[in-house]
């Protein structure tokens, strides 16, 4: 305890949480000290209970029921608790001894109470603590085996009415509602512990449905109800393990739950029950899953369940059948099937599905490019270089983009047919007066042809700038025309980004005049520009920095 320091708190908390914890030191109350632990309440958005654990080899750890602490983080409330303990360091040994004395005194007092006195005490506490009363009533009903009473209590616990305004539980009340709903999990587990596991199974299923029915009407930003869903799934699994329900009945419920329309707050996985289902139950699970999928082949939940079952049993044909029932028009599903077949060691069938994806696509311009890449790679790996080039040519003709052209070039060069393919591609672009022609000729490093294309079909500013940059040494007059046009537009703009672009253009303009042997013309131009733009102080500063 005496070894606790600010540095040891900062290490697990991090700088941000540590600094924020400094602001909460005055909000710590009810400090309790034990052997290796310190507890207290810390007032934040709400009042949180924090416990700091000391003596570990890696330094202090702790728990806090704030949202950040619930995620396993060393939060600002733990920092505030630790700083409070450090500030009271001289008093800690005495306070710890006092805490031990209090604990022993409490145990001694409690042990000395008669049965009637204990009952009276418990009744008094329940009268002032509604949550305690509900928990104990549910446990009592479970112990008596009164399923009707437990069911009634569980339904009450999932009633949002006391917490809702306009039939919705706002963020500020969601934690309190989750705390109430969490008592249902305790009641279900109490049934299992009381040798009423079959009843616990039934009640867990009802509770899961109740949670699904209210979760959309609760602001669960902090995930409290998500945790209740996880706990309910675990309680159901525990009850099934104890009750050993009929495998076919269990399989039917698992499939019905998995494909239900309602959002699943439990994320319950039917395959977690494999050991309880056994061979007969797993066969039933697959049968019911197939029936559900056949009834709704495009349903997301049905497809997901079928794929999970098929992959778990390595049934590749079922996986393919599920995917094939809902083929995407752009060929993406065909690609997924081909990859599944590759994994299964069936390359010929994979190739067939990839080719089918291209054939089934109405417009190659909309096809999934990844499918085109995949099929072209398959052709190349098997020596079908001409087929790869033809595929790339057809795809380029449909979409006419620079990336498609680059891939065509690579494939056609490998097939020794690039010159002919290139001319055909360029003719296609010229006939369509497609501005992409300029980008493609620049990519081919055919600058002269790019200038001709820009003159014939026009070029946007980005293309013009790229052309000018590529040909400034060889065509300085043409480049200068482009730079001056772009600079003139920028002189009407303000802002540092525009100034940086203008200065970059001015440097290029100066270089053009150098190549043309007309430096005096540049001096005249830049002097006039300075006069016109002198109010733009940041521009003037940038021009000074670059010697303009």
Note the pLDDT of residue 508: 94
Long-range contacts of 311-314 (CB under 8 A, 24+ apart): 312/271, 313/286
Note the pLDDT of residue 260: 85
Distance CA 203, CA 183 (A): 13
Q: Where are the domains of the chain?
A: 6-112, 127-245, 472-545
Burial class (CB in 10 A: 0-12, 13-18, 19+), 505: buried
- Helix axis angle for 6-22 and 76-87, nearest 10°, is 120
Strands of 61-64's sheet in order across: 28-34, 37-43, 47-53, 61-64
Q: What is the mean pLDDT of each run of 10 residues along the chain (548 residues)?
A: 78 89 90 84 86 79 84 88 84 68 80 87 80 71 76 89 88 83 87 90 94 90 85 94 95 92 78 92 90 87 86 80 86 94 92 94 91 95 95 94 94 94 92 88 88 82 88 90 92 91 94 93 94 92 92
User: What are the φ and ψ backbone dihedral angles of 196, each rounded to 5 degrees?
Assistant: -120, 50
Note the pLDDT of residue 262: 59
Note the pLDDT of residue 56: 66
Note the pLDDT of residue 223: 80
Distance CA 92, CA 52 (A): 14
Note the pLDDT of residue 91: 64
User: What are the φ and ψ backbone dihedral angles of 206, each rounded to 5 degrees?
Assistant: -65, -40
CA 344 to chain centre: 29
For 390-425, the DSSP string reads HHHHHHHHHH--HHHHHHHHHHHHHTT-HHHHHHHH
């Amino acid at each position: 305890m005496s070894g606790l320091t600010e540095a040891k708190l900062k290490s697990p908390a991090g700088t941000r949480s540590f600094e924020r914890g400094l602001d909460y030191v005055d909000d710590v109350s009810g400090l309790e000290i034990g052997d290796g632990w310190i507890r207290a309440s810390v007032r934040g958005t709400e009042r949180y209970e924090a416990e700091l654990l000391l003596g570990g080899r890696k330094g202090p750890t702790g728990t806090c029921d704030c949202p950040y602490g619930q995620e396993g983080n060393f939060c600002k409330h733990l920092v505030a608790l630790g700083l409070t303990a450090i500030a009271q360091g001289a008093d800690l040994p005495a306070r710890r001894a006092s805490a031990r004395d209090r604990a022993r005194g409490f145990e001694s007092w409690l042990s000395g109470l008669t049965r009637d006195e204990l009952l009276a005490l418990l009744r008094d506490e329940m009268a002032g603590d509604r949550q305690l009363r509900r928990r104990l009533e549910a446990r009592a009903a479970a112990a008596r085996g009164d399923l009707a009473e437990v069911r009634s209590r569980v339904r009450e616990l999932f009633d949002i009415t006391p917490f809702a305004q306009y039939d919705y539980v706002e963020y500020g009340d969601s934690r309190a509602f989750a705390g109430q709903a969490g008592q249902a999990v305790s009641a279900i587990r109490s049934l299992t512990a009381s040798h009423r596991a079959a009843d616990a199974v039934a009640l867990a299923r009802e509770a899961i449905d109740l949670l699904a029915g209210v979760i959309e009407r609760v602001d669960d930003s902090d995930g409290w109800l998500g945790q209740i869903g996880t706990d309910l799934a675990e309680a159901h699994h525990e009850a099934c393990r104890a009750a050993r329900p009929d495998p076919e009945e269990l399989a039917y419920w698992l499939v019905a739950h998995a494909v239900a329309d309602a959002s699943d707050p439990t994320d319950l996985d039917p395959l977690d029950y494999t050991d309880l289902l056994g061979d007969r139950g797993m066969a039933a699970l697959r049968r019911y899953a197939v029936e559900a999928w056949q009834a709704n082949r495009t349903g997301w939940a049905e497809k997901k369940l079928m794929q999970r079952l098929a992959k778990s049993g390595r049934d590749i044909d079922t996986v393919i059948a599920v995917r094939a029932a809902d083929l995407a028009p752009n060929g993406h599903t065909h690609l997924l099937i081909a990859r599944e077949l590759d994994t299964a060691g069936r390359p010929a069938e994979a190739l067939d599905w990839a080719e089918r994806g291209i054939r089934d696509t109405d417009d190659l311009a909309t096809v999934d490019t990844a499918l085109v890449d995949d099929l072209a790679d398959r052709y190349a790996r098997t020596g079908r270089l001409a087929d790869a080039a033809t595929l790339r040519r057809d795809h380029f003709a449909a979409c006419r983009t620079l990336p498609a052209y680059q891939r065509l070039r690579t494939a056609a060069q490998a097939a020794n047919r690039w010159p002919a393919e290139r001319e055909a591609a360029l003719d296609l672009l010229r006939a369509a007066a497609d501005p992409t022609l300029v980008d493609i000729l620049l990519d081919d490093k055919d600058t002269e042809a790019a200038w001709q294309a820009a003159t014939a079909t026009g070029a946007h500013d980005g293309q013009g700038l790229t052309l000018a940059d590529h040909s400034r040494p060889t065509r300085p007059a043409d480049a200068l025309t482009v730079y001056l046009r772009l600079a003139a537009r920028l002189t009407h703009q303000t802002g540092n980004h525009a100034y940086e672009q203008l200065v970059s253009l001015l440097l290029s303009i100066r270089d053009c005049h150098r190549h043309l042997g007309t430096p005096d013309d540049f001096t005249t131009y830049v002097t006039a520009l300075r006069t016109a733009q002198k109010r733009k102080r940041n521009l003037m500063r940038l021009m000074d920095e670059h010697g303009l």
